[in-house]
Each structure stands twice: as structure tokens, then as C-alpha cells.
Amino acid sequence: MFKTPLFKFFASLKLAVISILLLASVLTVATCLESLYGTRAVHVLVYGTPWFAGVLFLLGLNVLCAALIRYPWKKSQTGFVLTHLGIIVLLLGSVVTQKFGVDANMPITEATQENEVTLNEMVLTVADEANNIKKEYPIRESYREKQAQILTLEVGKEEGLIIDQFIPRAIAERRLVTSPLEGVGAPSLKLELFNSRFNLEEAIVSQHPSKPTEVNLGPALISFQVLHNGEEQKKFFQAQAVKKETSTLGFLIAMARSKEFRVPIAEARKGFVGFAGSEFEVKVDEYFPYAVVENNRLVSRSNEPVNPAVHLTVRKKGQTDPESTEKHTIFANFPEFSTLHGAHSKKTTLGIKFRMEVPKSHNPSLAIVGNQRGHLAFAQNAEGTQLFYRTQGKDGQTKAQGEIKPGVVTPTGWMDLQFKIQEWLPHSVDETVPRSIEYISGSGDNYLSAIHLTQPRRGISSDSKSEESSGWWLFEGQGKLLNVGGRELFVQFTKKKLNLPFYLYLEKFKIGNDPGTTKAASYESDVIVKDASQGVERKANISMNEPIKYGGYTFYQASYSLEDGRPPVSVFSVNFDPGRQIKYWGSLIMVLGILVMFYMNPQYLSLLFKRKGQPK
């Protein structure tokens, strides 16, 4: 048996070289793919595929046959046999891990307990609560966006659901779409305003039934309204003076205790305003709309909000001593600048970082606008069949007016500005949709997956001419209540869950910051393991480098989530590896085999370490 041509081929050195080079090439390509598409994508493409298991099987078969073809073994071959046995045991442990192992996450809110962990596999859960029926359907993932009939669900005789699009990495974007109900929704338009020096885009929604909605774009004040009758249309075309523009100064964003707090600049100019649970208070000493440096001093060139900046004082509430008070200067357009005065001379700081958030019109690229701002007004008739416009210069005189169509480039009459209506929706609704991300930036875990779900009206065959709904997008973790065939079904797109045979209770989550900053230096969790079946209730501490083990599972401190007004959430990485001991034994046997091989065959050492002076 061991001498047949087929067996000799599987035991050959040639096959060993081929299988090792093949495995090395696959791992190299997989590493490159992981940097482009993320960890989950490379599992779908490589590590979780049958062909990769076939590559490992080919290597294991070659190692096994190479050892068996030398049977009966000689004493001098003990190291050789042990080394090959160690490789086989190591591969066997890897198979056990892949088949039965668990790699999951477990988020727990402080002062609560949890036994449910989240796996990596995507599923669509369909729950019929009236009939107490719940089913999970695995979703065939892809490493790139896929548009096809990915999953078809039969939930009734003539009703069903179809997943026709899958996005593995997406970010949520809000957009205006045509209302699915006739006559329902707010009028909206998407506008482009441009000249030879800049280009601006803005979407505006008419939010008031009788008043125009205004948006300040810098070179123009944009307004949009609905005209309900002929009288209102007549008034719209009458020249009117440009309304005085009003806008807020924006907000100070204070980062303290790993949380953000918003303080209105206008309010802080009047006096100290408390934040962070009234532990600190801040006051704007000076506000500079157009900040420039002259004679080593910060001054404002004009009242145009081109480069907003502030001098401010922050202190512990009610304290006036130097150690409890700080001076900062913040520039809205340069948030990366260090803001604290005299930071090098202070032994300790309050640990607060500031930045400014100003209205969109405070844009440094619009410094050329000056006082040449005009008024660009839009209005639609009550039926939603006509769109009108009117342009006025800063003196209030009408430059142009009339009916406008989407896609037509029209001059405003000042600053060589032109505008174009990119899209006009007489009745629109706000919708959140996913935008596919081709390549990752940083960690691939920062993105969510999304699916598109449709509901055929009659039948579910893709070959039939059944009518389908326009469908819905579901992001990972989202659900939707649907009426399918007269049944109320809750459909949820999520990752597969697994219930552990015991609970983990989070007593306290603790975070330590670097001195004088809000940057987390360490974080840990005090937990209690509760296993009623074993009568166990054990306290433990999990930190970044100190996991705990129980019931074959290992819990690592992975990350955390802090939100203002809510208790902290500690996120644990949960690992169950039944093949770990097998892999340890395989590694030990392989190392032992290598040592025995060198001990029993010292000529191997002479090949590695030639004596000094020995000719090459």
C-alpha cells in the first residue's frame, strides 16, 4: 500500500514544496486583502472557504504520507516521526477550533447581567409574535457590494420577502426622496451655487406652511416656500428688501471626563456658564468674527464671520485661584491648534479641551464675499407643478425672476454667481440609506453591513412578473415591522447570538486617564460570574491584559462605550477554543521531534555550524 505510485506522489518532497509555497502565497494574498477589505471580508474570501480547508488538508496529507512511507521506522528516524506527528496534531487542533470554536463580543451595561454573546455570522430573524414563531435565516455574505437575489423567504402561500442587495461595509447617509404617499411630504430642492472661485451645494426643505425657510450660504441668503394661491404668487414676484440676516455665533464644544458638552457662545459672552454637571464653568472674554494677528495681538478685521475665534476663561465652579482657572484661545477653522495659555508652566491642568462649532456660513473660503451678499428666493405652487425663483442684490433690487427648471444654469446678477437646481421634489421625505465603502480606512470594524429587502405583491419567483415594493434598507442591528399575507412580522438584520450557560454581572466599569488629559490610559471591569447550575458566584476583575476564564470561555476587556446621561457599557471579547490544548500538544511534540532529530543525528548540526578553518 505504501509503495503505490499514488501514495509515493502524496509522500513526495515535490508535493511538500508545492503545498508549502501554495499556503504561503494564500496567506500573503489574504494579508493584503485584509488591509483593503477588513477581517470579516478575508474570512469570507479565504479562511472560511472549503478550498482553504483543502489546502490545509493537502499539507496534512503530505506530512502523514511522508511519515508512513518510511514505516517500519528506524530508531534514528524518531525525531523525524515526532516532528511530522506534531504538525498533524497542530493541523487537527486548527480544524477543531474552526469547527467548534467561538469568537464573539459581549457588551454589558453597568449594574446589569448578560449571558448572550454576539457572533460574526449575519442572519435575518423573522418573528411572528402572535403565533410565537421565530426563525433565523443565514445570509450569504460577500466581500464587496452584491446585487442579486441573495435570499428568498417563503412566509405565506403567495407572500414572501427577498434580500436583493448586500453591502458589507457601509456608512449611513440621510437623503431626501420622493414621498411614497401622493400629496404627503415637504417640498425640497437641491441647489448648486458657483462661480470661478468656489462651488457650494445645499439641500433645503420648506418646513413652514406659510413662511419661507432660510439658509445662509455666505454669498447668498437662500429661501424656499410654498405659494398657496395667486395672490401669494403675485407678492412673491414683487421686489422686497433683503431681510436682515441673523445667525447664531455657534457653540463651544468642551471635552471633559471623556464626554462632550455644548455651550452657546452667545450665552457665554454674557457671563460664566456651567457644564459637566456644573463642575466647571466657562466665559467668553472676547469674540473675533474675522480673527487676524496684528502687532502680536489678536484683532478682528471685520464683522464678517470669516475666521471666528474666542478668548475664554474656564474654571472650577466658584473657584478663582490660578490652579483652578485657565485661559484658552480657540479658532473655529484651526481646531488642531493648542488652545491653553501657559501650558508649559502649569504643573497640572483641568484636563478640558475646547473646539468651536460655528454655522455653515462661517466658511473661510468665502472671505472674498465681503458685503456683496444677495438674496436668492425659491417657491413652488400649491399643486407642486411649477417652481419659481427671484434674485435680489444687496440693495434689495430684483435682478431676475420667473419659472425655473431643474438642470438650467441661471446667473444671480452679482459676483458672477450662477445657480442650478440639481433636484426638485414637490413632496419629499427624509430617508437614511447606506453608502458602500469599497476599501477600509483604519479598522474594518468601524463600518456596519446593510441589506435591501423587498416584498413581492404576488408570488416570490424572480422569473414571474410579480409586483414588488420599492423595498427597505436595514442596517446591522435594525428591525422593521411588516405586514406579510395578513401577518405582523418583525424582521431584524443582525449578527447571530449565542446564549452561554452562565451569566456575567458588571458591578463597576472604571477608566483611568492620562494626567492632565481626557485620553483613556487604562480601563477595567469588576464583574461577578453567576452560574446557578453549579452554585457559583465568583467576583473577578477584567482589565486590558488580564482576562478571566470560566467554563472553557475566556473573557478579554476589548472596549467600552460612554454616552452622556447613560451608564457606561463595557465590551468584552469572548473566546472559546476547544482546539487550544490540541494545538499546544502539537507544538510541543513538533519542538520535541526537532530536538530529538538533532540529538540523534549530530551531522545536521555540523551542516549548520562548520568548524573554524574548515574549507567551504
Rounded average pLDDT over 463-470: 48
Helices (H) and strands (E) in the chain, counts: 9, 32
Rounded average pLDDT over 79-104: 93
Q: What is the pLDDT of residue 390?
A: 94
Confidence check: pLDDT of 285 > 90: yes
What confidence category does residue 367 fall into, taking pLDDT thresholds of 50, 70 and 90? very low
**Amino acid (one-letter) located at 615:** P
Q: Percent of the chain beyond pLDDT 90?
A: 48
Q: What is the pLDDT of residue 430?
A: 85
- The three cell numbers of residue 560 are 467600552
Which residue's entry shows cell 438642470? 407
603: exposed, middle or buried (Cβ count in 10 Å: 0-12, 13-18, 19+): exposed
Rounded average pLDDT over 374-386: 92
E strand spans, 382-417: 387-392, 398-403, 409-411
Confidence check: pLDDT of 226 > 90: yes
Supply the angle between the helices 13-37 and 50-68 in degrees, to the nearest 10.
150
Which pTM does this prediction carry?
0.65
CA-based nearest residue to 434, from 120, 145, 137: 145
DSSP type of residue 415:
T
Residue 15, SS3 per DSSP: helix
501-520, pLDDT tens digit by residue?
999 999 999 988 777 676 77
Q: Which 3-state string (H, E, C) describes 308-361?
A: CEEEEEEEECCCCCHHHEEEEEEECCCCCCCCECCHHHCCCCCCCEEEEECCCC
Q: What is the pLDDT of residue 363?
A: 47
Q: Which residues are CB-neighbours of 371 under 8 A, at least 6 positions away? A: 304, 394
**Do 369 and 351 contact (CB within 8 A), yes or no?**
no
**Could you report how far apart the first and last alpha carbons of the chain are, in Å?**
43
Q: Which of 97-111, 249-263, 384-398, 575-589 has the lowest mean pLDDT?
A: 249-263
In sequence order, the β-bridge partners of residue 585 are none
**Do 239 and 396 contact (CB within 8 A), yes or no?**
yes
Determine the Cα–Cα distance for residues 204 and 189; give it in Å rounded to an integer.
Answer: 6
**Do 531 and 523 contact (CB within 8 A), yes or no?**
no
Q: What is the pLDDT of residue 207?
A: 80
Determine the Cα–Cα distance for residues 354 and 345; give it in Å rounded to an integer.
Answer: 19
Element (H, E) at 374: strand 374-381
Would you say how long the chain is, in residues? Answer: 616
Sign of the dihedral defined by the CA atoms of residues 587, 590, 594, 599, in that order: positive
Q: Which of 78-92, 141-155, 378-392 has the lowest mean pLDDT?
A: 141-155
Task: Compute the mean pLDDT over every residue in the chain, rounded to the nearest whole number.
Answer: 85
Determine the Cα–Cα distance for residues 314 and 323; give it in Å rounded to an integer.
Answer: 11
Confidence check: pLDDT of 530 > 60: yes
Determine the Cα–Cα distance for residues 479 and 494; give it in Å rounded to an integer.
Answer: 8
β-bridge pairing 220-227 and 374-381: parallel
Give 241 or 204, the one with higher predicted confidence.
204
Residue 60 has phi, psi (to 5 degrees) of -65, -40
Which residue's entry shows cell 454669498? 219
412-463, pLDDT tens digit by residue?
988 889 999 999 999 998 888 899 998 887 655 678 899 999 887 554 444 4
Rounded average pLDDT over 143-153: 90
